Each structure stands twice: as structure tokens, then as C-alpha cells.
Structure 1
Amino acid sequence: MRGRTAALAAVLDQGAAGLTNILVLVLAARLSTASGFARFSMVYLVFTVVLGLFMAYVGQALVLVNAAADRVATACRSALAFTAVAALAVGAVLALVGGAAPAGWQALAALGAVLPVVLLQDAARYCFSVLGRPHHALAADGLRLVSTVTALALQPEGASPARLVVAWGLAAVPSLLLAVLLLRRPLAGAGTELRPYLVRGHLGRRFAVEFAVGNGSSQLAVLGLGALGNPLAVGALRGASALFGPLNVFFGAAQAFGPPLLNRLGGGGAVVRATVLLGGALAAVGAVWGAVWWLLPDGWGRQVLGDTWPAVAELLPATGTQYTLMGFGVSALLTLRVLSPRETLTVQVVFSLLSVGLMYAGFAWAGAVGAAWGLAAGSAMKAVAAWLRVLRVRRRERTPAPDAGASPEPTPSP
């Protein structure tokens, strides 16, 4: 495919995947009671963490493969085989835990049953990426979007969280079958090597650690609110994040496709100016999007999120502020990724953990509303810290290095 067509297909694919995740939460909220959606949200959050770890360990290492076509095919086939084996093992553990857990956690067992299907479908997306076939990824994810919406829309009102999880998971089967069909030719004759995933130096371990201390820690912290505190708070926070899901697609697209474009600008100053404008644009979109939902009449809100809407509506000022600030934070981290990639890890680790602490402090102070304001405060601090790093990198670039070849000036004689 041509470069522009491939880029467009990749953007559309990311949009389809993001929209699927948004509509899963929206449809589940409409079909469930507030308590039922809270339980569904907690199980879906478990899936989000497991997916993030898998795709960090397998997918992110896979897309860095740069070798001959036969090696790429072997890498893809190996990634799919490892994902299948590991997903079966993790799924069995989740099924056992869900079966032994108190009533109301049957949805966790349901997640264990469908986990191999959904993880394999997502792993196929990375194979299409490394094979240079984003249009095939778009076809598979487009089919999954349609199948998921159809499967959930056919569920009765008041459906249990376990039933919704099963419907959502089985909806990925047509997409997985299509992916297998599309991968059959490019992977024909390729070998399978599982050993590289088990050795100590596997690159995916670093990516998994970055995810665990970054996004994973914040998601597990939200899950902890439900396990140790109030499950309804998880439903409210997840419902609010679903409303702002389109912004996550924008943020992800900026991080995925921004570096190649910014590298063409040819200088640190030009990159900073471009990302400042990008940050302002993302922040403005976040503010407007939050205001639209905040001004929405209650009746319309209930049409979107059902019984969960009243709890979500209380969080909209805080969540809108958080996403406005995230626009500046994303642009700052994007700047660092282009100018000095090693600078991002510390910011991500320190301020992701700080956000977790602020969320728990806010929850102890004012429940779910306080937790949402804690997350907003964490986003503000992360954005400030990231831009301060950018300024430090720019000062370092502008400071001329000492000329090692120059001879020292003579000392004047007395």
C-alpha cells in the first residue's frame, strides 16, 4: 500500500478499535442496573489490564521486528502461538478464581472462558501492522465493531454481567476467523519459536514493566476502589471515561503518528512550537467535549448510560478538567519522545504512581467525586513536570558543548 493510504487505514483501524471499547461500556451501562454495570466494569477493567500486559509483552516487541520476510512471518506466527498458550493459562486461572469467588463474580469466570478469543484477535492486529497490511487490520476490527454492537444490542435489559461478558467475547469470533483467513497466506510455511518469549532478555519485559507502572497501576488502583471500597465508584469512573473515549483515540493517534511527522520539522524549536499548538488544540477539544456532556439534559444522559448516568454526571467537571490537562501532558510527552526518548520513563512512572495516590486520597475525602478530582490533579502535575523536562532538554541543546580540541588559554604571567 502507498504511505498515505496505509496511514489512513491505520488511523481508521485505531478509531474502530477505540470506538468498540467505548460502545461496549455504553451499551453495558444502558442494559444494566447501576450495580450490575459496576460489576461489569470491574471485570472489564481486569480484561483491560490483562490485554495491556499481553500486548506490551508480545505486540510492542513484535512491531519492532525489522528483518527479512520469512523472519517476520515466523515472528508473527510465534506471537500468535505464544498468545494462544498464555491466554489459555491465564483464562483458566480467571475461570477458577471466578468460580470460587462469592456470588456476583461469575463474570470473571466468563472472562476466563472468552479470553483466548479476544486476546488472539487483538494480537492479529499487531501481525497485520508488522506485515504492512493495515487495511486487513481495519477489515477485522471493523467486523468486530459491528459484531460487538449487534451482540450486545440483542441482549435483554437487565442482563447479568456474566451474560454481557460472554456476548462481548463471542462477538470477536467472526473477526478472529477473518484474521486467520487473511493471515493464512503471508504466514504459510513459517516456523514457530516460543523460546524467545521465555528468555531473560526478551524486549517485551521492558514494555510490560512500563505498562504496569504506568497505565496498569492506575487501572488496578481503580479496580482496588471496587474491591476495597465502593464498586459503584468504579462504575461511575468507568462510565465517565467511556464518555471521553473519543479523546483517548485522539491521544493515541497523536502518540502513534506524531513522531514521524515531527521528525520532519528538522529542529527542536520547531518541534516544541508544533507540540505546543497540538497541546492547546487537544486541551480545547477536551474542554469543549466535557462542557457538552455537562450541559446535556439528564433525560438524554440516561439514554446514553442508563441508571449509571446520575453518578457519572457528578464527575463530569472533574473528568472534563482531567482530559483538558491530559491534552497538554500528551503533547509534552510526545515532545520528549522526539527530542529525548529516555526522558519519558521517569515522568511516566513517578506521576502515574502519584496520580494513584491522589485518587485514593480524593476518594477518602469525597468518594468518587474526590477520586475524579485526584486524577485531575495528577494529570496537572504530570503535564507540568513533562513540560519542565522539555525546557530542560531545550536548554541542554542550546548550551554549546566545550570544544575538546581547543587548548586552554595561557595563564598571564605576573
Structure 2
Amino acid sequence: MSRTPARGGLRTRAAVVCSVADQGVAALTNILVLVVAARLSSAHGFAVFSLVYMTATVLLGLAGGYVGQALVLERGEAARDACRSAVVFTAVASSALGFTGAAVLALLPGDTARGLSALGLVLPVVLGQDGLRYCFSTLRLPHLALTGDVLRLAVAVPALALQPADSGPARLVLVWGLSALPALLVSGALLAPRLRGARSSARRLLRRDHLGRRFAVEFAVGNGASQLAIIGLGLVASQLAVGALRGASTLFGPMNVLYNSATAFGPPLLRRVADGAETGAGRTVRTTAALAALLGATAAGWAVLLLALPDSVGRQLLGDTWGSASGLLPATGSQYVGIALGTSALLTLRVLRPRATLPIQVSFSLASVAFLVAGYAIGGVLGAAWGLCLGSALKAAALWLRVGSLGRGRWRGRGRGRGADAHKVGVRVSDKGGQP
């Protein structure tokens, strides 16, 4: 009895280290890509690149929600079939969407249309490589995901750095996207033997009870809503505002390492932490509450560090974009503290009650968009940044209030003999491959 928990603890610690390291490498790649693009581009060119890059981020988030977030809840032998189905579905869907979009946008004038058309051409590579990372997480092989992302970093940054100064946004997007091809090929070669004999049924991802539908909607009205609003702001109002907001958020890239680790790989790890606990739900809440305090303090400390950054260093990082981005650091730093608290609460609900997050995500994400637009109307790009901060703070408060009410209900239910451990909820979700 004692040896099993010990071995599981060792595996859990190793999985945590590899998962965080993987997200760290992925986030570092994103940071360096934006830094190199900012240094190579004018303020206008970086604004256009930022708009296209943010579009790619939205598409990655939607794919991660629809395919990846549902995939990591799978357990047992069914996980291999689910991974194979996810790979096939991602390849077909991303190719159809990307190539069709590229053909249509190629007919339109302007740097933005050309940049988005380039994104369509590389979309299957970008989404495919990201999808394989979720497969490795599901199969509890995060070290293989780390291998692919290290290769991605080793190729992407030098490839962009070798481009000539004042390269157009479309060229930079193509180089960025194609730089994921070696990682895609290597990851595919590593995954193929582990899926040998597994059955593929991409139609399972089109079923009405597919849990990914809910997660994709949550992203669309959560992170995606504010990002789409910023994209819309760039299309109809000011592309330079997009560049400033993106430049400021780029400086908080290290925080995204921890946020992405929690949302992408937290559910299976939390279930393993709760294994064998008599009160799995309570232990999950305590763990994520401690995580919220740690992430919030780290975000605040990072914001203080950035505020003390000399202008000369800032310009080395962001080039011409530093002038507009530096004034947004107090608002963006406060926003990231709110995101830290909200991410931890969202992770708690994702494990204990997946259905509970959607109403909050819809309500407060739409409120965040309203705050963004109102803030821009009142105070320009700085007002927009504070609007995003207010939306993140209110969403975090609502999510933790929901966690509190759920915890009280579970503990009362256990007292009446109707309770269930948190990790058992996760098992039901993964066994059915749909709603619990």
C-alpha cells in the first residue's frame, strides 16, 4: 500500500516539472517571437503582425478548448483512441479552414489581409503541432511535449532573427508558422508508435455531447472575447492600439507560463494529487487556493519589476513599440493579478464541476468586452487596458464565489452520504468522453 503512493508521487512531481518546463519553453518562444518581430518592424508593421498573431492565438485557444481540453480528461485505454481521433480531426479541420481562408484573403488588398492569408497557409502546421502537445499530456508523456517545444524554440527564433529589417508582416507570419514544421514532424514520429493499433473516429468530436464544445464556447466568451474585441479595435479604430496592448502583454509572457500550465495540464495532475484523499474536493480547493495566492503574488512582483525597467532596456526589447506599451504596464500588471486569481478558480471548477464555468464565463467576458470598448472611448488605449483589468478582477471574484458555493454544497452532501470525490467526477467525464 505504501509503495504505490510513493511511486505515484514521484511520477506526479516529474509530470509537474516537465509540464511547467514545457509551458515555459512554449511561452518563451512566444515572447521571443514578438520581441524579434518588434525589433524587425516599424510600429505600424508590428501592429499588423500583432493583429495577425493575436488571431492565431484565438484560433489556438479555440482548438485547444474544443480538442485539447476535452482530450486531457480522457483516461485509460480510451485515451489512445481519443488521441488518434484528435490528431485526424485537427489535421482535416485546420487544413480546410486555413487553405480556404488563405485563398479568400489573398484576393483582398492591404497588409492585414496578406498577413491573415499567410496565417491560413501555415495554420495546419501550427494547430497540428499544438495538438500533439495535448496528446502527450493525455498519455502522461509531458517530456515528449517538451522535446517538441524545445525544437520549436530552437528553429523559430533564429529563423525570424535572420529576416531582413523592415520585413513585412506576411513574411514574418510565414516564417513563424513554418518554423513549427520540424517540431510537428518529430512529435508525430514520437507519438505514432504509442498510437499503433488505436482506433480513429474523428466523428466523436462532432457529437452533441462532446465536452469540447462547452470548453470552446468558454474560451470564445472568455479569453477569446477580449482578444476578438482587441482585433476588432485594430480593424475599425487603431492598429497602433493593438500593437501597444500586445507589446505590454508580451512583457508578462513569463506569467503565461504558469497560467497555461494550470489550464492545459492542471486537470489530470489535480486528480492525481487528490488520489487516495478522503475529501478529494476539499483537497482540490485548498491546492488551487494556494496556487491562486502564489500566482497573484508572482504577477504583482513581476509588474513591479517591469515598472522599474529603464527605457533603454525597454526599447531594446520592443523597439518603437516600447513608447506606447510602457504606459500600460500598471493596468496590464493589475490585469494579470486578476487573471492569476481567475485561472486558479477556473481550474478548480474545471475539475470539480465542468458545467459550472460557462454561465460565469459568458456573463463576465461580455462585461470585459464592454469595459474594453468603454475604456477606449473614454481614455484611449490606456482606458482600454484598465477596462480589461476591471473585467478580469470581476470574473475572478465571481469564479471564487462559485467555488465557495460548490464546496459548501459538496461538504453538506457528504454529510448526508451523497458526496463524491473530485477525482471521481473527472473519471466520469473521461470515461464517457462527454458531459458528466
Q: Same fold (TM over 0.5)?
A: yes
Residue 30 of structure 2 is aligned to residue 17 of structure 1 = no
Q: Which residue of 1 aligns with 2:123?
A: 115
Q: Is the contact between residue 339 and residue 393 of structure 2 (CA under 8 Å) also seen in structure 1?
A: yes
Looking at structure 2, the residues matched to 169 and 401 of structure 1 have their Cα atoms a distance apart, in angstroms, of 50
Question: Is 1:368 aligned to 2:390, yes or no?
Answer: no
- Aligned equivalents of 1:7, 1:394: Cα separation in 2: 25
Structure 1 window deviating more from structure 2 (3-12 vs 283-292): it is 3-12
Instruction: Say which SS state the counterpart of residue 111 (structure 2) adopts.
Output: coil
**Which residue identity lines up with residue 240 of structure 1 in the other structure?**
A
Q: Which residue does 1:298 correspond to in 2?
A: 311
CA deviation after TM superposition for structure 1 residue 12, in Å: 1.4
- Of 91, 99, 109, the residue aligned with 1:102 is 109
Structure-2 residue corresponding to 1:79: 86
Question: Which range moved further: 41-50 or 73-82?
Answer: 73-82
Give the alignment partner of residue 44 of structure 2, picking from 35, 39, 63.
35
Q: Deviations over 1:245-288 (max 9, x none)?
A: 11122123344437347636755666655544433332222122
For residues 340 and 176 of structure 1, do their structure 2 counterparts lie closer, same or farther at Cα, with a shift above 3 Å needed?
A: closer
Shift in Å, 1:119: 1.2
Choose the corresponding residue for 1:329, options 332, 335, 342: 342
Any unmatched runs of 5+ in structure 2? 1-9, 418-436
- Give 1:130 deviation, angstroms: 2.5
1:44 aligns with 2:53: yes
In structure 2, what is the Cα distance between the partners aligned to 1:136 and 1:312?
36
1:313-358: per-residue Cα shift (whole Å, max 9, x none)? 1111111111123233333334444565543322222111111110
Cα contact 2:274–2:283 (8 A) shared by 1:
no
User: 1:136 and 2:144 equivalent?
Assistant: yes
Q: In terms of Rg, which structure is larger?
A: 1
Change (3 A) 1:276 1:120: closer
Q: Give the CA deviation at 1:199.
A: 3.6
What fraction of aligned residue pairs are identical, expressed as a percent? 54
Q: Find the residue that maps to 2:82 and give its secondary structure.
A: helix
The answer to whether the 8 A contact 1:286-1:323 is kept is yes
Match in the other structure for 1:153: 161
In structure 2, the residue matched to 1:92 is 99
Residue identity matched to 2:88 = A
Q: Is the 8 A contact 2:20 2:258 kept in 1?
A: no
C-alpha distance 339-219 of structure 1, shift in aligned 2 (>3 A): same
Question: Secondary structure of the residue that 1:155 maps to in structure 2?
Answer: coil
Q: For the Cα contact (< 8 Å) 1:97–1:108, is it kept in 2?
A: no
Residues 71-112 of structure 1 show CA distances to partners (whole Å, capped at 9, x for unaligned) of 544433332222122111111222123212222121111111
- Does the residue aligned with 1:100 lie in a helix, a strand or coil? coil
Distance 1:344 1:275 in 2: 15
Q: CA deviation at 1:175?
A: 0.7
Asked if 1:222 corresponds to 2:263, the answer is no
Shift of 1:375: 0.6
Aligned-pair CA distance for 1:402: 10
Deviation at 1:171, TM superposition (A): 0.7
Q: Is residue 52–residue 116 contact of structure 2 (8 Å, CA) maintained in 1?
A: yes
- Which amino acid is the alignment partner of residue 24 of structure 2? G
* TM-score, normalization by structure 2: 0.84
- Output the amino acid matched with 1:180: G
One-letter code of the match for 1:168?
W
Give the C-alpha shift of residue 206 in structure 1: 2.2
- For 2:103, give the aligned amino acid: L
Give 3-state SS (helix, strand or coil) of 2:222's partner. Answer: helix
Find 2:402's aligned residue among 380, 389, 392: 389
User: How many angstroms apart in 1 are the aligned matches of 2:415 and 2:152?
Assistant: 58
CA RMSD of aligned residues (A): 2.6
Alpha carbons 2:28, 2:254 under 8 Å: kept: yes
Residue number in structure 2 paired with 1:409: none
The question of 1:311 aligning with 2:324 is answered yes
Once the two structures are superposed, residues 345-387 of structure 1 have per-residue CA deviations (whole angstroms, 9 ceiling, x without a partner) of: 2222211111111001001111110000001111221222223
Structure-1-length-normalised TM-score? 0.89
1:207 to 205, 215, 219: 215
- 1:334/1:66 CA distance change after superposition, 3 Å: closer
SS of aligned partner of 1:185: helix
Cα displacement (A) at 1:291: 1.6
- Residue from 67, 70, 74 that aligns with 1:65: 74
Deviations 1:98-139 (A, max 9, x none): 212222121111111111111111111122223332221111
Tell me the SS of whatever aligns to 2:106.
Answer: helix
What corresponds to 1:412 in structure 2? Answer: none
Pick closer, same or farther for the CA change 1:261–1:26 going to 2, 3 Å.
farther
Residue 420 of structure 2 corresponds to none
Gaps of 5+ in 1: 405-414
